């Protein structure tokens, strides 16, 4: 049944417009120009409010340009108010999906990610009768994934448009307005799907990675400017309170300090490797496994789950009984509230005061308990999803990895090429790495959120990994076309 659906999805993709592979090897300059061009298109869509939607998250760049072009210096201060309002609109979902509510990219890369997860899980779990090592099978996977992404975009577009209508966010409150916004959101998501392919084939890195890194970078820049010049920023505190405001001003830069510290830890974790005692024929370096063995996938899944828990918690806490008194649903919602994400933004001294003195809505549990429970929950879920992903992934599962290594005559030093020994040795390294790496990314993301890191902890983790991969690809491209420049920038690898 699933295989038949998969073949149908691939059949539909062959009838859709395709982006052909480049016929000649592209130079570094050409790849860079393609990447910059796609990034410009992405930012235009990202900052354009959909026709028929009230101003919400998109269009801040246009408003800032209008203020600058007006020449009225008295309104320049409004720029920083817009920036602060803009950063307040960011949440984990928008950062992970490179989207912005109210704009043409309200769906972002969400449809691509969801389609990829479905296809990869079904293929990795053996539910699809395909050989992932075959070039023809990989072509089918990409085609089916593209069709499924467009279908997911239509479903998500309908859900978001319906949400806009129920919240009164449409400027044309009629069926025509709903259809108009729906078409724009699906069209925007479809353009992103093709832009992703364009970057993958003609640019540097992948489109998904580029868009996430662009969104997080935008959030970091906006957050830093808001911390300095916003209505509750450092400049405002010092100018309003003088020397007495220096203490609060120092506290206000906590998100900036947190962002720098988290970036350092993530870069260190990305560069950390664990050497395996394996003999690789013809290799000059031993086989290594990264400390973040499962990458950022565990915390992405955990964060997505907790966001859904937050939505359920809000609906249960808001449940009104006939007597007006809390009932069991309110209590359940309050307990779920303790596991929901918490993120520092705006006035940091006020945020700290809320953490020290605030309480949960129904049971009155202190907010500092909320932070502890959230960090523990996020860490445990990250470990769970990390182990789940390793068990499901043929490239990381010890048994299947041992099978692939034995076929390449890779063996444990001092032993013959035997996949049983390989599996046993790999299990001694992979499972501890899975647990510690997943725990590390969970704690990093959690503490970054609690301490107000710009772009959220998950966003920083993703961005650093994406930039690492892009730098590797840039180095490989320069090695081919400009080896001298590559040696100057990256050193001699020999």
d(C-alpha 452, C-alpha 259), whole Å? 8
d(C-alpha 165, C-alpha 373), whole Å? 35
Q: Given this model, what pLDDT does residue 96 score? A: 67
pLDDT at residue 230 tops 50: yes
Residue located via tokens 């309104």? 75
Q: Given this model, what pLDDT does residue 180 score? A: 93
Length of the chain: 494
User: CB pairs under 8 A, 24+ apart, for 20-25?
Assistant: 20/201, 21/201, 22/201, 22/202, 25/480
pLDDT at residue 321 tops 80: no
What is the share, in percent, of the chain residues with pLDDT greater than 70?
79
pTM beyond cutoff 0.85 = no
- Report which listed range, 11-20, 213-222, 301-310, is most confident: 11-20
| Mean pLDDT computed over 172-177 | 83
User: Closest Cα to residue 137, out of 407, 394, 423, 408?
Assistant: 394
| Mean pLDDT computed over 36-59 | 80
pLDDT at residue 151 tops 90: yes
d(C-alpha 322, C-alpha 341), whole Å? 30
What is the DSSP-derived secondary structure letter of residue 274? E
Residue located via tokens 């779990």? 125
Residue 282 banded pLDDT, cuts 50, 70, 90? low
Q: Given this model, what pLDDT does residue 169 score? A: 83
Mean of all residue pLDDT scores within the chain:
78
Q: Given this model, what pLDDT does residue 456 score? A: 80
Task: Give pLDDT tens digits for 356-379.
Answer: 888 888 888 899 999 999 999 999
Residue 275 banded pLDDT, cuts 50, 70, 90? confident
| Mean pLDDT computed over 32-37 | 88
Residue 58 banded pLDDT, cuts 50, 70, 90? very low
- CA torsion sign for 200, 149, 219, 379 is negative
| Mean pLDDT computed over 283-310 | 76
Residue located via tokens 């959101």? 185
For residues 310-328, one letter each, b for 16 or more C-beta atoms within 10 angstroms of the residue's C-beta and e for the rest, the string is beebeebbeeeeeeeebee
| Mean pLDDT computed over 272-290 | 69
Euclidean distance between the first and the last CA atom of the chain, given in angstroms as a whole number: 51
| Mean pLDDT computed over 400-416 | 66
Distances (CA, A) of 85 to 23, 60, 88, 141: 46, 9, 5, 41
Q: Given this model, what pLDDT does residue 112 score? A: 86
Tokens of 489: 């920038």
| Mean pLDDT computed over 328-343 | 85
Q: Given this model, what pLDDT does residue 466 score? A: 76
| Mean pLDDT computed over 201-205 | 81
Which has more pLDDT, 85 or 455? 455
Residue 37 banded pLDDT, cuts 50, 70, 90? very high
In the chain, what are the domains? 29-231 (1.10.3370.10), 255-454 (1.10.3370.10)
Q: Given this model, what pLDDT does residue 218 score? A: 77
Q: Given this model, what pLDDT does residue 494 score? A: 45
Distances (CA, A) of 32 to 26, 202, 236, 456: 10, 9, 40, 28
């Amino acid at each position: 049944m699933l295989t038949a659906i998969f073949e149908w999805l691939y059949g539909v993709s062959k009838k859709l417009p395709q982006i052909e592979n480049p016929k000649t090897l592209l130079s570094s300059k050409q790849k860079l120009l393609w990447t910059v061009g796609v990034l410009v298109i992405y930012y235009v869509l990202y900052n354009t409010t959909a026709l028929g939607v009230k101003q919400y998250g998109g269009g801040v760049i246009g408003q800032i340009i209008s203020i600058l072009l007006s020449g009225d210096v008295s309104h320049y201060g409004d720029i920083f108010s817009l920036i602060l309002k803009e950063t307040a609109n960011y949440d984990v979902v928008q950062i992970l999906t490179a989207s912005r509510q109210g704009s043409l990219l309200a769906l972002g890369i969400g449809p691509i990610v969801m389609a990829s997860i479905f296809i990869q899980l079904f293929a990795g779990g053996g539910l699809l009768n395909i050989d992932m090592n075959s070039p023809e099978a990989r072509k089918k996977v990409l085609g089916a994934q593209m069709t499924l992404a467009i279908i997911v975009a239509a479903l998500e577009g309908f859900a978001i448009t319906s949400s806009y209508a129920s919240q009164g966010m449409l400027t044309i409150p009629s069926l025509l307005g709903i259809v108009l916004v729906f078409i724009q959101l699906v069209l925007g998501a479809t353009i992103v799907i093709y832009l992703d392919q364009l970057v993958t084939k003609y640019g540097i890195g992948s489109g998904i990675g580029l868009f996430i890194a662009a969104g997080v970078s935008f959030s970091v820049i906006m957050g830093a400017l808001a911390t300095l010049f916003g209505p509750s920023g450092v400049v405002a505190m010092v100018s309003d309170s003088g020397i007495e405001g220096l203490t609060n001003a120092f506290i206000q830069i906590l998100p900036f300090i947190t962002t720098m510290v988290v970036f350092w830890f993530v870069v260190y974790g990305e560069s950390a490797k664990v050497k395996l005692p394996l003999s690789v024929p013809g290799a000059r370096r031993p086989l290594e496994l990264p400390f973040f063995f499962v990458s950022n996938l565990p915390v992405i899944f955990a964060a997505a789950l907790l966001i859904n828990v937050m939505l359920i918690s809000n609906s249960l806490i808001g449940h009104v009984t006939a007597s007006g008194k809390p009932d069991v649903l309110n209590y359940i919602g309050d307990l779920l509230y303790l596991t929901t994400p918490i993120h520092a933004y705006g006035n940091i001294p006020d945020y700290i005061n809320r953490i020290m003195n605030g309480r949960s809505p129904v049971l009155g549990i202190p907010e500092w308990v909320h932070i502890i429970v959230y960090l523990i929950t996020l860490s445990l879920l990250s470990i769970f999803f990390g182990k789940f992903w390793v068990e499901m992934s043929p490239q990381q599962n010890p048994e299947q990895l041992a099978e692939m290594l034995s076929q390449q005559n890779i063996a444990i030093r001092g032993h013959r090429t035997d996949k049983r020994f390989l599996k046993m040795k790999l299990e001694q390294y992979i499972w501890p790495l899975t647990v510690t790496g997943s725990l590390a990314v969970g704690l990093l993301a959690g503490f970054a959120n609690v301490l107000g890191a710009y772009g959220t902890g998950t966003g920083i983790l993703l961005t650093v990994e994406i930039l690492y991969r892009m730098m590797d690809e840039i180095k490989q491209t320069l090695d081919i076309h400009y080896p001298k420049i590559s040696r100057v920038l990256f050193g001699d690898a020999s």
